[in-house]
Structure 1
């Protein structure tokens, strides 16, 4: 016989790989953790852990049980949250991780809609690149994260809301850029690119290595603002997703579509699994989906 409290003990021990650390995190005595694990092993007829010199490791059965127990806990906690919030307006703060290139396209419209229709929801926006946002979602620092994935194929990335091709851009001058440019022609051009391990940088670098092209990265710059300033002052080229350069606000930049191969940036949304999503978080997630789906299919 077991209950949700026993499952929480098991999941904590599995995540910590230590009964003593699990006990500290749960605020109980270590013998309590050991007793619960023994009761579960007796009830299920299989060992959950193997003891090692540095703590414990999950058995094969323990790995399977861990995944199911964690899912059951998340689902059960979500049910409790849903029941508590039935017939209530969504309230509370929701933290979102957003790439700098999407802030202007998503956040103002999202904030305006919430302010008019759901004033009980407060937004907290954290800017970061996709690898950072992925970590924030996983550790629960943000409830919702927008992340980018890069691909060459025509096939869509699972869960993507829109995609945008990569372009080469520089400040306008007397020599207009052609409508398209082969990737191989990037060799030798002075480039300002995001600092690795940024996803765009990794995607472009991977294609360059495959084609045996040496990219001349003159400046590594983390922020979009810095990249634009360097491009304007130094005459460098930027590689950006097409949607990230606004035709009106960034009209000083000329641009060419990169082809052979063409690289696409797809945007997806993640939600944290560290805790149940409350009504406010689910409301914000649905509104973000609506904003993203309104973007042109291939910006």
Structure 2
């Protein structure tokens, strides 16, 4: 009896301190080149969060220069996972962003997947269209799951890295910025991260926007933003978190071009498979 009471007390303590369970919907921000052949864990997780075999998934291949080919590829992948209701929302000009058939589908869908390509092209075609406004509205109401890979990941924040270089120290000329969709407005995303040596690029961007959380995502890796205010990491690489909320000594306003940017007191976290991050308190969860 004493043992049982002690175990019950421990169980109650664990239950009291455990983080709340995430709801089914989530935003999956994928670093690109996700596994499409073997376990397909990231894509399978998106399908599961969209409702599994009962999911109704829309694919947006607009970032790609070959939208028909890339749209068909993901169509076949999701179909192989048992999803029966799939539509490619092939927006190639801004007028299609008002297509009534697409809008009707998005009203009823349970998941939207944005493919890779060129994030400037994606934003140019869809920003402020009725189609994208409806998607963002339903995501913010936690009615649908959303995933974006590569360019589809870059557009998630209000500020977006649209291009730049690598292999240099942080500097103003290293990164090009643009306006994103603002789906997760408090983050600044970079993709293909360690694979393309983009830490300096992200730091350069964060020097201009230290109020935003830098999120660098490796290939075949996903930062899954849960509805409980946490990030959970999936895939085989890492998610690099750059927290500059307490930065000091930022000399960005005093340098020009390729002159080095200096910043002090930056917090950096490397998260791997299964790690979680608390967005409210800006700290990893052990």
Normalized against structure 2, the TM-score is what? 0.26
TM-score, normalised via structure 1 length: 0.25
Query: Which of the pair has more CA radius of gyration?
Result: 1
